[in-house]
């Protein structure tokens, strides 16, 4: 086969190949540079890489191996097989084929020219071989054989494996790595410092469980592991129940009863045992077991009940009832274990004067950006508590007011005075979000509290100290005021000059904010605090995801996208906190007051700690991602301005400067919306969490994500580069994850009959059915209980269809201007190519939103019932055709042409289906009066001007936000190591203070072990913060190096 023929067939196969498959979880995938080319490198775990027998001729196999051996070898072998795949960039096929005759010979397989284009296939074609199955079987058999061998003593003579002993033996240990068996004396000797190991005795038939206490072991207290000479006085050793990581043990404890001996509880603490009580000791817990539970509680949300039950079953899996019940004592002790001092770990990247800022930080040019505090707040009704487990009097919080919750006594007094006062809603226009509305407040609470409100940093998601309160009735303004003022007081006292506050209902919450916090019955701030706050710039914004639920005016005024000096902040970071804390909801709602509060605060502490130690790495990765997007946005704006021309851009800049940077939002079609079912239809079932209308709307949003993914796949189907294929893999993974969450929420609002109905399934996430009413046959809606939900979806689809039409109209207006601009270009080939690129981009935008409308139209056809208007209740909407997607300027030009040709010629053309055409209906529905030539001319100018300005303002605002984001991330990366260094010095000073008396004179007396331990603890903490500081400083240097390499001028 000739080289050119092989290249041709290889390209043809690349075009026909199916979509990328889901990656096997055992497979690692990365991009390598080989001979200057980007190559997708896919390989499995080493133990799964098995060489298959080649099917080619020996000459072909050897030539292929010889060719591949010439390549650079990142590992021992470079094997093209089922377990190692190489995906080559299409533009580089010729270069790879030129590597040698052997590689060309390996491509001898003939391709079928008539093969149809394959549909995307998500199945993993990399099947497991028979060799793998044999290997797994051998592993299982080997493991089983070893387990059988462990059931019998090692050796035939039953002699103690201690060479110095030589007597008969019958004891073994489950927790030691001793090979063989021991006699009783040697067994006790070897376990003098392992008192919680599990012993077994050979009874002649099998190993039978026994305890060290049964063998006569006594855990000595005091005297450095040597039994106290007075241990047998006052009753002798005492039996204690002790929990360790391997189970529950009944241990004989020999107390030290010497004169002046410490208390029994102190002796247990010296052995790293935590007693359940300080008097009448019966139960204790090893420090290691408490540490294990603490970590399991944070990582996997293990409850004390589950942990104690697990330990009971681990101790005796046959009759666990004979094992002592430690749940109640363990529940109390684990709460004590969590209390270790200052637990509210702060945000390490927020600007704090005196901690991580320069002395002259107020003189920096970007002060209003990089030194802004970003505060977000939200309420969560899942973290509620029932009337169980005792109130505050019988179950107080052990944390008190030293952590994340606001001062409790002050908050209770505030709620008694101001908690029942109605919120002032005078002057509020936006009523779309019901938080803060009177009808959402329960007058007769059925629970002890209804949830939690907390404040967090919008960039890192760190929870602010004193920024959390319980919700007594509902999410009302006054409940939100208390934690917010607690956080603002600390922030303002630092000297912060600008604060961005994000809240779901900031549009109406901020109106009477100062009036509420200065209420005469209970002012939340003093006069001095009020003056400081009045000198601080407060910027109120709505989180991006929640902004879609607000009215049009809110979307303009309270948007992060159109506000300067906020970067790419989304305002939704507090929602990520709920995802973590909500895992505790089913447990904490059954707890008492103090236990629930301590559990939540301990989880918040762990959340902040993990955020802090990972923040430097997160900021570095976010900066690298922001650099690439910033460059893309810059190129987009540059191409757009080049296509528009200097005069148009100068006019846009002047208008934008006069209007203060505000953007234009075109008038949206106001079609009837619905939040529930029709009056005549049966109301849909409402389950906890999601209503029918909310659920259907969530489904429509997910459907839009599926279509966006389909568009990306279609764009990159021909000749995708390696990185683009990796991006598509990631997009598919995200959509698949969203589908899993969506299917889990269907039970909250969909009838069970509809969930049990089978629908055609597709393994591709972008083509998977969402089980919306439109996915079912219309004749089955009544039987499946979907009638009311179908009406909801129909109305939402109709509203979406009206909203969607403005998108292609805007793009057609921009395209009209660019086409006219193209014909006037005199700048040469480069300018012409740029103009063509922008025209093509506008046309793709038209086609994208036309596809969205077609999908909505088809779904309405499957949902709507027969109606008298002949349009199934779709109002002015019509079926969108390709001829409808014409520019107004093009339609005007055709009309001018036929007027010049005369009526006779136009009539003759009309008989042949040609001639003057009516104005497409997508333009007619925008006119409130009869369509006239002057009216169309006016519309042409209006839509063209609006589309141009909208496109330019959006591109400019996007570039500006990413530029701000780069500056914010760089400033944060610089502050993080400084924050850790500050706390390192704090602990260094604490260690020094412990060495000196009052910070002046050296302590002359010999320090006690307690004093030395405090110094050692402070030094260990200082070393930990020093290590974090150095790691963060390294990440900052990497960020700066990446910035220089990418020539970012931010």
Per-residue confidence (pLDDT) for residue 102, from 0 to 100: 36
How large is the average pLDDT for residues 190-203? 90
Q: Among 41-45, 624-628, 899-903, name the one with the lowest average pLDDT.
A: 41-45
Per-residue confidence (pLDDT) for residue 620, from 0 to 100: 94
Q: Helix %, strand %, coil % for the chain, to 5?
A: 50, 10, 40
Across the chain, mean pLDDT equals: 75
Within a 10 A sphere around the Cβ of 373, how many other Cβ atoms? Answer: 24
* Strand runs labelled E in 844-928: none
For the sheet with 37-44, list strands across it. Answer: 27-34, 37-44, 84-87
Confidence check: pLDDT of 452 > 80: yes
589 pLDDT band, cuts 50/70/90, is confident
More confident residue, 389 or 292: 292
Confidence check: pLDDT of 619 > 90: yes
How large is the average pLDDT for residues 57-76? 38
User: What are the two backbone dihedrals, phi and then psi, of residue 743, each rounded to the nearest 5 degrees?
Assistant: -65, -30
Per-residue confidence (pLDDT) for residue 684, from 0 to 100: 38
Q: What percent of the chain has pLDDT over 90?
A: 16
96 pLDDT band, cuts 50/70/90, is very low
How large is the average pLDDT for residues 141-170? 84
168 pLDDT band, cuts 50/70/90, is confident
Q: What percent of the chain has pLDDT over 70?
A: 68
How large is the average pLDDT for residues 204-222? 89
Confidence check: pLDDT of 97 > 50: no
Per-residue confidence (pLDDT) for residue 1026, from 0 to 100: 94
How large is the average pLDDT for residues 827-848? 72
* Secondary structure (H, E, C), 865-876: CCCCCCCCCCCC
Q: Among 344-358, 513-527, 772-786, name the one with the lowest average pLDDT.
A: 772-786
Tokens 């409850």 belong to which residue? 303
More confident residue, 229 or 970: 970
Per-residue confidence (pLDDT) for residue 764, from 0 to 100: 78
Per-residue confidence (pLDDT) for residue 4, from 0 to 100: 62
1032 pLDDT band, cuts 50/70/90, is very high
Confidence check: pLDDT of 125 > 90: no
Left (φ > 0), alpha (ψ -120 to 50) or beta: where does 427 sit?
Answer: left
Report the half-sphere exposure of 587 (CA within 13 A, side-chain side). 19
Per-residue confidence (pLDDT) for residue 945, from 0 to 100: 67
Confidence check: pLDDT of 1038 > 50: yes
Per-residue confidence (pLDDT) for residue 55, from 0 to 100: 41
Residues 242, 273 contacting (CB under 8 angstroms) = yes
893 pLDDT band, cuts 50/70/90, is low
Cβ-in-10-Å burial (0-12, 13-18, 19+) of 271 comes to middle
Strongest mean pLDDT among 159-173, 618-632, 667-681, 718-732: 618-632
Dig out the tokens for 840 from the structure: 């093509």
453 pLDDT band, cuts 50/70/90, is very high
Q: Where are the domains of the chain?
A: 3-117, 151-210, 219-338, 361-421+431-614, 670-885+920-924
962 pLDDT band, cuts 50/70/90, is very high
Q: Among 74-88, 280-294, 754-768, 985-999, name the one with the lowest average pLDDT.
A: 74-88
More confident residue, 351 or 66: 351
Dig out the tokens for 15 from the structure: 């075009």
Residues 780, 751 contacting (CB under 8 angstroms) = no
Confidence check: pLDDT of 904 > 60: yes
946 pLDDT band, cuts 50/70/90, is low
For residue 104, give Cα distances in angstroms to 38, 77, 285, 406.
20, 20, 70, 73
More confident residue, 1007 or 661: 1007
Per-residue confidence (pLDDT) for residue 292, from 0 to 100: 92
116 pLDDT band, cuts 50/70/90, is very low
Dig out the tokens for 554 from the structure: 């809110």
Hey, which residues does 457 pair with through a beta bridge? 375
Confidence check: pLDDT of 754 > 70: yes
Containing 860, the helix (H) or strand (E) segment is helix 829-863
Largest CA-CA distance found in the chain, in angstroms, rounded? 128
539 pLDDT band, cuts 50/70/90, is very high
Per-residue confidence (pLDDT) for residue 41, from 0 to 100: 55
Confidence check: pLDDT of 1035 > 80: yes
């Amino acid at each position: 086969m000739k080289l050119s023929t092989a290249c041709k067939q290889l390209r043809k196969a690349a075009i026909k190949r199916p979509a990328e498959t889901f990656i096997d979880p055992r497979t690692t995938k990365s991009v390598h540079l080989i001979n200057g080319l980007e190559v997708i490198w896919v390989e499995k775990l080493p133990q799964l890489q098995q060489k298959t027998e080649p099917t080619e001729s020996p000459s072909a196999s050897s030539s292929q191996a010889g060719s591949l051996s010439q390549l650079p070898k990142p590992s021992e072998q470079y094997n093209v097989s089922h377990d190692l795949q190489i995906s080559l960039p299409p533009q580089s096929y010729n270069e790879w084929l030129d590597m040698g005759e052997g590689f060309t010979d390996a491509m001898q397989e003939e391709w079928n020219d008539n093969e149809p284009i394959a549909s995307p296939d998500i199945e993993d074609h990399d099947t497991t071989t028979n060799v793998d199955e044999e290997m797994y079987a051998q592993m299982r058999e080997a493991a089983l054989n070893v387990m059988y061998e462990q059931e019998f003593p090692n050796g035939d003579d039953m002699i103690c494996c201690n060479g110095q002993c030589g007597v008969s033996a019958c004891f073994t240990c489950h927790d030691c790595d001793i090979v063989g068996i021991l006699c009783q004396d040697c067994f006790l000797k070897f376990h003098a410092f392992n008192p919680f190991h599990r012993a077994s005795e050979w009874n002649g038939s099998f190993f039978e469980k026994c305890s060290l206490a049964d063998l006569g072991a006594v855990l000595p207290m005091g005297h450095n592991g040597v039994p106290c000479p007075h241990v047998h006085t006052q009753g002798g050793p005492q039996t204690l129940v002790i929990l360790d990581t391997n189970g529950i043990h009944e241990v004989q404890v020999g107390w030290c009863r010497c004169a002046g001996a410490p208390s029994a509880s102190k002796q247990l603490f010296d052995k790293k045992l935590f007693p359940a009580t300080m008097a009448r000791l019966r139960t204790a817990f090893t420090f290691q077991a408490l540490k294990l539970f603490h970590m399991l509680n944070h990582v996997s949300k293990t409850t004390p009940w589950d942990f104690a039950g697990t330990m009971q079953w681990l101790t005796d899996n046959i009759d666990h009832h004979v094992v002592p019940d430690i749940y109640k004592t363990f529940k109390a002790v684990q709460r004590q274990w969590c209390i270790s001092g200052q637990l509210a770990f702060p945000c390490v990247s927020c600007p704090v004067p005196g901690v991580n800022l320069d002395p002259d930080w107020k003189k920096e040019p970007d002060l209003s950006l990089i030194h802004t505090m970003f505060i977000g707040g939200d309420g969560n009704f899942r973290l509620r508590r029932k009337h169980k487990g005792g109130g505050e009097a019988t179950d107080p919080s052990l944390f008190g007011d030293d952590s994340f919750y606001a001062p409790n006594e002050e908050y209770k007094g505030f709620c008694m005075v101001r908690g029942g006062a109605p919120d002032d809603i005078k002057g509020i226009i936006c009523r779309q979000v019901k938080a803060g509305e009177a009808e959402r407040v329960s007058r007769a609470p059925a629970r002890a509290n209804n949830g939690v409100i907390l404040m967090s940093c919008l960039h890192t998601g760190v929870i602010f100290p004193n920024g959390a309160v319980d919700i007594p009735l509902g999410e009302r303004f006054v409940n939100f005021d208390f934690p917010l003022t607690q956080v603002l007081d600390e922030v303002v006292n630092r000297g912060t000059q600008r604060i961005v506050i994000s809240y779901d209902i900031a549009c109406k919450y901020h109106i009477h904010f100062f009036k509420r916090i200065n209420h005469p019955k209970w002012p939340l701030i003093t006069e001095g605090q009020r003056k400081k706050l009045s000198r601080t710039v407060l910027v109120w914004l709505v989180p991006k995801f929640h902004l879609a639920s607000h009215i049009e005016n809110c979307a303009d005024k309270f948007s992060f996208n159109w506000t300067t000096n906020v970067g790419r902040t989304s305002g939704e970071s507090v929602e990520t906190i709920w995802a973590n804390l909500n895992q505790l909801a089913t447990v904490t709602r059954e707890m008492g007051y103090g236990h629930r509060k301590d559990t939540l605060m301990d989880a918040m502490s762990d959340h902040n700690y993990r955020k802090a130690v990972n923040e430097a790495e997160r900021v570095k990765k976010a900066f690298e991602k922001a650099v690439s997007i910033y460059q893309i946005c810059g190129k987009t704006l540059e191409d757009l301005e080049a296509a528009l021309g200097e005069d148009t851009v100068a006019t846009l800049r002047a208008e934008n400067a006069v209007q203060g940077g505000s953007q234009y939002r075109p008038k949206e079609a106001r079609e009837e919306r619905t939040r529930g079912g029709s009056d005549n239809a049966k109301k849909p079932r409402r389950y906890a969490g999601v209503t029918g209308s909310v659920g259907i709307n969530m489904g429509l949003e997910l459907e839009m994500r599926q279509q966006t993914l389909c568009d990306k796949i279609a764009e990159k189907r021909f000749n995708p580069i390696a990185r683009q294929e990796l991006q598509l893999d990631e997009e598919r993974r995200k959509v698949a994850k969203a589908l899993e969450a969506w299917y889990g929420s269907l039970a909250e609002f969909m009838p069970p009959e509809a969930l049990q109905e089978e629908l055609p399934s597709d393994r591709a996430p972008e083509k998977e059915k969402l089980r919306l009413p439109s996915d079912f046959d219309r004749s089955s809606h009544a039987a499946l209980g979907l009638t009311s939900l179908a009406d909801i979806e129909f109305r939402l689809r109709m509203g979406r269809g009206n909203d969607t039409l403005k998108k292609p109209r805007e793009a057609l207006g921009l395209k009209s201007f660019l086409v006219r601009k193209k014909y006037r270009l005199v700048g040469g080939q480069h300018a012409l190519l740029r103009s063509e690129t922008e025209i093509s981009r506008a046309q793709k935008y038209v086609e994208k939103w036309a596809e969205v409308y077609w999908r909505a139209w088809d779904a309405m056809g499957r949902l709507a019932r027969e109606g008298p208007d002949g349009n199934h209740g779709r109002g002015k909407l019509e079926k969108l055709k390709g001829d409808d997607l014409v520019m107004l300027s093009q339609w005007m030009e055709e009309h001018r042409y036929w007027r010049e040709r005369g009526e006779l010629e136009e009539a003759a053309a009309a008989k042949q289906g040609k001639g003057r055409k009516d104005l497409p209906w997508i333009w007619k529905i925008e006119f409130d009066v009869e369509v006239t030539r002057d009216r169309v001319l006016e519309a042409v100018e209006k839509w063209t001007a609006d589309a141009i300005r909208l496109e330019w303002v959006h591109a400019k605002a996007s570039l500006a936000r990413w530029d701000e984001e780069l500056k914010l991330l760089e400033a944060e990366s610089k502050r993080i190591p400084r924050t850790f260094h500050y706390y390192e010095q704090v602990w260094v000073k604490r260690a020094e203070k412990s060495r000196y008396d009052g910070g002046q004179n050296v302590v002359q007396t010999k320090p006690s072990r307690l004093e030395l331990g405090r110094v050692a603890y402070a030094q260990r903490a200082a070393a930990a913060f020093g290590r974090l500081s150095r790691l963060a400083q390294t990440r900052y240097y990497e960020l700066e190096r990446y910035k220089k390499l990418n020539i970012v001028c931010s």
